[in-house]
Amino acid sequence: MNTELPVHATVTYHFSVPAEDVFDAWLDTFMIGRFMFGPEVRDEEIVSLKTEAKKGGSFSYIVRRQDVEIDHIGEYTELERPLRLVFTWAIKQDLPDNSRVVIDIIPTSTGTELTLTHEMPSEWEHFIEGSKDSWMKMLTALDKIL
């Protein structure tokens, strides 16, 4: 447990595809543009999606919502294909405020079980349910394209 980020929003989702497919989608900008961002997920335009998919690598996902550009940034701290992915998560405009996302992937006899935990600072406690809803919306979108 991360004591620096004591607020946790956790969701679990079952996919009927192999763990490798689920894991790889989180590092592929084409896929990210279909399940995390863009008009298929919410009312926004993708400006650019860049990722350096390696431990210590960074990402920047810039979208435009209602004429405002938002840059989602982070760094990959763990990549254990296909079982675990951990990265920091922040909005560039809100720095130094940041959070961490932990994705654990378990192969099952019928596909893959993914558990995502979004760890946030205590002042974001009011956002637990909103975070769960957002991640579940993205996981549902990912399921549709896998």
User: Is the Cβ–Cβ distance between 111 and 15 less than 8 Å?
Assistant: yes
Residue labelled with tokens 């607020």? 7
What is the distance, to the nearest Å, from the Cα of residue 31 to the centroid of all Cα atoms in its chain? 12
pTM, two decimal places: 0.94
pLDDT in tens, 25-64: 999 999 999 999 998 889 999 999 999 999 999 999 999 9
Strand runs (DSSP E) across the chain, as ranges? Answer: 7-15, 45-51, 58-65, 68-80, 84-91, 99-108, 111-120
Residue labelled with tokens 């637990």? 128
